[in-house]
Chain A
């Protein structure tokens, strides 16, 4: 809870601010994760595209093994996203895991954080399993430019249009501090003896 503030009083007792309050509960972290999943799903790379790419870039002899890895990846995704979610959500999660791990050599802090930010708490074994699946898939598709395939869809890695506002503006983190006591004028803290003689 914030300590009492002057501006808090101004917001409560003056009529110079917006009165109706936006419901903060509508924006809890769970809702935010769902929104991020929804936005991710719109980015363009679908499970069907991944499936076709993996199948098309593999000779028939190895296709069975690739299909098995894709199946394993879906299973790991199901554990991460939660079994109560539908097939579509699981497939989007599997795509996310492929994007996250395709150029990584282990499950690091950054990857763990990215998965948690997207899906919330998850079993670490599922992350390890999905990492292993992705590593095997990438390994079997070494010459097929899987990086380029993913990059062409993955907006997370695309540079934003134009430059970010404020990039060239200096910002200072300096903030107001309490005055050093010795610089203040004489405080007069001593109790003044009040005379009650009239």
Chain B
């Protein structure tokens, strides 16, 4: 047993080796890992046969048994297992990669036994990650914070995609715990912020890929296109499967991003500094009307599938708008509300963003409907009475024109006379 009141990373233990000789070694040592062999998680497909269901249940029981064993281990043994057992890391990774999201098509379990196993696994995996994100379990059981940060980072116990997966899998019902976990991970290991920065361009590439697949962005726009070249793909012309996949991809991307930024608002600053908001608005402006248009024009044999895809597209739209609002709120509006020192700079940034939205008319109308721009302008006017009135009038007039040019009527604000 390791000594009390000394961080785990500094503890030494005395154990017997295979030959029965006593030896002293670090409490966190690969030789203290126990042989277990965790199996990776594999999701059950919607059309699984009984044998596949049986295999899923058996695999689930193995994972559950092993995770319950893991969670029952004393602090030092738990960390030896987590750090040095690649099969455990692989098992946890496979769960966050492959576990069904509630927004997947046909995500409902095929039988009560499958549902029960899935629920138990879901809980056990969450607690395994929660324990891994906790550097101090009690007064006796703790790790030096800086060492803890290095352990997480160097062993890839957490990485940015994994944290995003955790947010979309657990963020609805366990947001408070998840926030504590992710806050602590970033606090103890600031290198994750630079990983986050590296991630933003890849997310933007995902947007570009979706645009390309819809024929809304040419992959090599600089090169002249041959006259006899294959026609650009379009959302109307592509196969139904490709179309559904694109909407599902959009739905997953927008939901994951929104879940992550909701749970960990500190990430908003990183996204904001990489010009993410403008790119999001212009992506929305291109892709949403195109996919909506294609959805209505395409002939679906299965009308329920068409309805389902429509719901996912609408859901994606809302998540993108909410993400834009989160970014604006946490990086500019919140500091103004909190009376930050450079309020003028933040106000200027808000106005600049709103002005840049004027060219993205569809985005502007949809955003304004969910988060009235007039309210934010009013907030700016209250916070900074000296704000340029000509500019705010121009902006509000632009919003009004966007509604008119889209042929839509802005719904009356809550509480206003009908």
Verify that A and B bind, or say they do not. yes
Q: Which one of A32-40, A51-59, A86-94, A98-106 is at the B interface?
A: A32-40
Q: CA of A179 to CA of B94 in the docked complex: distance in angstroms?
A: 28
Q: What 0/1 readout, one digit per residue, does chain A (158-177) give for beta carbons within 8 Å of chain B?
A: 00111111100101111111
Question: Is A67 engaged at the interface, CB distance under 8 Å to the other chain?
Answer: no
Q: Which one of A16-24, A73-81, A124-132, A140-148 is at the B interface?
A: A16-24
Q: Which residues of B contact A13 (CB under 8 A)?
A: 202, 205
Q: Which residues of B contact A2 (CB under 8 A)?
A: 43, 97-98
Question: Interface size for chain A: under 10, 10 to 19, 20 to 34, or 35 or more residues?
Answer: 35 or more
Given contacts A2-B98, A4-B252, A9-B202, contact A173 B122 (CB under 8 A): yes
| Contact with A4, one of B45, B59, B248, B311 (Cβ below 8 angstroms) | B248
A7, A113, A172: which has the most chain B beta carbons within 10 Å?
A7
| Contact with A186, one of B43, B127, B209, B369 (Cβ below 8 angstroms) | B369
Question: Is A64 engaged at the interface, CB distance under 8 Å to the other chain?
Answer: no
Question: Is B232 engaged at the interface, CB distance under 8 Å to the other chain?
Answer: no
Chain A interface main SS type:
loop
User: Across the interface, do A17 and B127 meet the contact criterion of CB distance under 8 Å?
Assistant: no
A32, A169, A174, A181: which has the most chain B beta carbons within 10 Å?
A32
Q: CA of A160 to CA of B74 in the docked complex: distance in angstroms?
A: 9
Question: Is A8 engaged at the interface, CB distance under 8 Å to the other chain?
Answer: yes
Question: Is A123 engaged at the interface, CB distance under 8 Å to the other chain?
Answer: no
> Hey, which bits of chain B sit against chain A, CB under 8 A?
35-40, 43, 45, 55, 58-59, 61-62, 68-69, 71-74, 78, 86-87, 89-91, 94, 96-98, 101-105, 119, 122-123, 126-127, 130-131, 137, 156, 159-162, 164-165, 168-169, 171-174, 177, 195, 198-199, 202-203, 205-206, 209, 245, 248-249, 252-253, 255-257, 259, 289, 292-293, 295-297, 310-312, 314-315, 317-318, 362, 366, 369-370, 406-408, 411
> Hey, which bits of chain A sit against chain B, CB under 8 A?
1-11, 13-18, 22, 24, 27-29, 31-32, 35, 38-39, 113, 116-117, 160-166, 169, 171-179, 181, 184-192
